[in-house]
Structure 1
Amino acid sequence: MEPATDRRSAARQADRPMAPELVARLRKQYEGLISDLLGEGLTDAGYAVADTAVAQGLWPERLHRPIELHPTTQSRPFLDPADFWFTSHLERHWDLIRAEIDAIEEPARAGFSTAGMDGSSVRGGRWHQLMLWDRGRRFERACGLLPGTAEVLSAIPDVTAQGTGFVMVSWLEPGTWIAPHCGPTNVKARTHFCVRGDARARIRVGDQVRGWDEGRCFVFDDSYEHEVWHDGEVPRVVLILDAPNPYLVDGERVVRQEQANRADEMLTFMTAMRLRRITRVGADVKVTFAPSMVEFIRSYLETRQLESVELRQGVLRVRAVATPGGEG
């Protein structure tokens, strides 16, 4: 028979709430597994994991899985565009913005970055992106490519000056699938302003599916699971804008905390990756690892008698240490 003291100890453990740091860590691990399964088309397995996490109290529902989940006065996949004053401002300037986008023939040549099959959520096709603003920082080269658009956006401090602010041109090629995933926090609300549409391009947020209408905005909470399919024939181009979520309880405090968290991102990243220094040299990046990581890598190569290992376009290229009388 189980001793009474052991039963009481187990009961206390079961009743004790998880620390916030543990909740965040578990949510991140669960979400990574769920997204991987859904991205491979293993829908039943992915949602079985999601339901397990919900049963453990990590999230309120299987389709709403942010790492940071703050209290709100209302929570739903699509939000009311009328609650965001700048949606009408963007729609009034659609002709100008569309003309600048139409002048771009090849986004990659124009300076857009491209996510393809190696992207974390892109499972087919090509997704081109051009960052205009991020966390109050204006990207001059990108804004110079679209000067009229940048002027329109400059009048929206909600997305250009706020700590949660973010503006990007999203150019989606036909045949692209962005697999189901959840944004990391519900601090922000995400606006899509459709500059160029295609009737066969669709987005699902939570359990709701809709398309894009040229010259119109919709707003959604990207901490809900969302995915995109483009089965059409012409690129779908939208402006993506992130503004503070107006439904947050104690929103100002939460946004300030989010800004503080973001300020710690680089420290967290460098510590996790065991980096000592990162330097941008022209178009390249030079990375110096911490001594412990350098020693680990050196030991790994030595024990396997490798001179170099390179991953190029998904192909691993290995060069062994040359042996006397043999080929390197």
Structure 2
Amino acid sequence: MSSEIRTIIAEGMQALAARDLPRAAGLLRQVAAGSPPDDFPWIALANAELALGQGDAAEAAIDRQLGREIRDVGALLLKGLLRERAGDARAAISFYRTAQAQMAFDGRVPPELAQLEAHARAYLASATDDFTGHLLGELGQDLSPAMREAVDLLTGKRQIHLQQPTMFYYPGLPQRRFYDPAEFPWLEAMLAHVPAMQDELAQVVADGDAGFDPYVRHNPDRPAPANHLLERKDWSAFYFWRDGAVVAENAARCPATMAALDLAPMPRIPSRSPNAHWSSLLPGTHIKPHCGMLNTRLICHIPVLTAPKCWLRVGSDTRTWEPGVPLVFDDSIEHEAKNDGPQRRVVLLFEIWRPEVPEEDRAAIARIFQAIGSYSSG
């Protein structure tokens, strides 16, 4: 690049900094009209043109920058703004979303783009509502739950959450977050034991919560988990079955709860399962998003002590615990729970086989985990 071109560009940038927009645009146009250098400041020219109300010229400069760097965040945001002003909502949304994705990948919002990024977020939120209204206006309101979710996914109101077990993945299972309790007739008989379970829980609480231990514990033979609830009773468990063995002392104190668990078809794998406990969540406690170890089981919650403002999110579906309403869900899908209320929440938690896993594969899975256990023990 000649020194003369460098001088013109430098003068143009100085004029832009001084807000002498006509001079800045004129100088930069002078270089852009010929054979501009590879590092020509197209975004600077676009900003000058935009400030002067020259939308077409600004967009042409932005297109030159995107032709050189297709993921330039500043150029993507400005392109979105220009398409927005031109009334092309679909294009504006596309450029704004691409800019957001790139900033998420980079892990930062450039400080000089903070105001424009905030505008893009606000526009996307409004445009999503407008687009959703348009779609529902065309489709009508009489949609199945699956179609409503499909529309939410299309418009970005929901995200796709799939099974991501941390240890063992069994292929081909349906991606179901929650199951209908009516699919498990034995749950009704378990619910009949809830009043007696509530009495047993009240006695344990009256005895000073003896038997409730932090759910997240540190095994000295393993690295400590990076969990903010480590060794804290904010989330605690009162075990009835643990790693395939009855916890005798707790079982003896709670015969009604043990009778209820006898009705559940819990997996039987030596040194692995059943696992069943009261799960207690104190006010203010947040179990952060995570995935379970395997997708061949379902987690069941029988509400024993419900509380207001407590919720469980599995994927994009959020439920609350209501008296007499079990929750059955796939914990290999990202999930989290929080007690946003003033009272303690306790559920009876246990695991069952996913009904889609055939008996012969259940037996093979059990052998896999027995093999893992025998290898671990030497």
Same fold (TM over 0.5): yes
Deviation at 1:201, TM superposition (A): 1.0
Q: Which residue of 1 aligns with 2:177?
A: 77
Does 1:178 pair with 2:278?
Answer: no
Contact conserved, 2:267 with 2:351, CA < 8 A, in 1?
A: no
Matched positions, count? 211
- How many Å separate the matches in 2 of 1:76 and 1:139? 32
Deviation at 1:73, TM superposition (A): 5.4
Q: After the TM superposition, which residues 174-253 of structure 1 pair with which residues of structure 2 at under 5 Å, given as runs?
A: 174-248=283-357, 251-253=358-360
SS of residue matched to 2:201 = helix
One-letter code aligned to 2:316: D
One-letter code aligned to 2:228: R
Change (3 A) 1:117 1:73: closer
Deviation at 1:172, TM superposition (A): 1.1
Q: Which residue of 2 aligns with 1:11?
A: none
**Deviation readout 1:20-72 (Å, 9 max, x if unpaired):** xxxxxxxxxxxxxxxxxxxxxxxx67x9xxxxxxxxxxxxx654211322234
SS of residue matched to 2:307 = coil
TM-score of the two chains, using structure 1 as the length reference: 0.57
Q: After the TM superposition, which residues 161-176 of structure 1 pair with which residues of structure 2 at under 5 Å, given as runs?
A: 161=268, 164-176=273-285
- How many Å separate the matches in 2 of 1:212 and 1:264? 37
Deviation at 1:235, TM superposition (A): 1.1
Deviation at 1:202, TM superposition (A): 0.8
Contact conserved, 1:108 with 1:114, CA < 8 A, in 2?
A: no
Q: Which residue of 2 aligns with 1:262?
A: 369
**Deviation readout 1:276-324 (Å, 9 max, x if unpaired):** xxxxxxxxxxxxxxxxxxxxxxxxxxxxxxxxxxxxxxxxxxxxxxxxx
Deviation at 1:104, TM superposition (A): 2.2
Work out which of the residue numbers 240, 247, 266 in structure 2 matches 1:132.
Answer: 240
Q: Which residue of 2 aligns with 1:274?
A: none
SS of residue matched to 2:198 = helix
SS of residue matched to 2:258 = helix
Change (3 A) 1:255 1:135: farther
Work out which of the residue numbers 91, 111, 114 in structure 1 matches 2:214.
Answer: 114
SS of residue matched to 1:95 = helix
SS of residue matched to 1:266 = helix
Does 1:149 pair with 2:257?
Answer: yes
Deviation at 1:117, TM superposition (A): 9.6
Deviation at 1:101, TM superposition (A): 0.9
Report the aligned-residue RMSD.
Answer: 2.8
- How many Å separate the matches in 2 of 1:155 and 1:64? 28
- How many Å separate the matches in 2 of 1:220 and 1:107? 32
* Greater percentage in strand: 1
Over alpha carbons, which structure has the higher Rg? 2
Q: Which residue of 2 aligns with 1:91?
A: 191
Deviation at 1:162, TM superposition (A): 6.4
Deviation at 1:122, TM superposition (A): 4.9
Q: Which residue of 2 aligns with 1:123?
A: 228
**Deviation readout 1:58-104 (Å, 9 max, x if unpaired):** xxx65421132223453211112112222111212211111111222
TM-score of the two chains, using structure 2 as the length reference: 0.50
Q: Which residue of 2 aligns with 1:320?
A: none
Change (3 A) 1:109 1:219: closer
Contact conserved, 2:285 with 2:339, CA < 8 A, in 1?
A: yes
- How many Å separate the matches in 1 of 2:316 and 2:168? 21
- How many Å separate the matches in 2 of 1:107 and 1:227? 30
Work out which of the residue numbers 136, 139, 164 in structure 2 matches 1:65.
Answer: 164
One-letter code aligned to 2:365: E
- In structure 2, stretches of 5+ residues that fail to align are 1-103, 108-159, 219-223
One-letter code aligned to 1:184: M
Change (3 A) 1:111 1:203: same
SS of residue matched to 1:228 = strand
Matched residues, percent identical?
Answer: 26
Contact conserved, 1:65 with 1:225, CA < 8 A, in 2?
A: yes
- How many Å separate the matches in 2 of 1:107 and 1:238? 19
- How many Å separate the matches in 2 of 1:245 and 1:72? 12
Structure with the bigger RCO (C-alpha within 8 Å, sep 6+) is: 1
Deviation at 1:132, TM superposition (A): 1.0
Change (3 A) 1:141 1:129: same
Contact conserved, 2:269 with 2:366, CA < 8 A, in 1?
A: no
SS of residue matched to 1:178 = strand
- How many Å separate the matches in 1 of 2:293 and 2:329? 14
- How many Å separate the matches in 1 of 2:361 and 2:316? 27
- In structure 1, stretches of 5+ residues that fail to align are 1-43, 48-60, 272-328
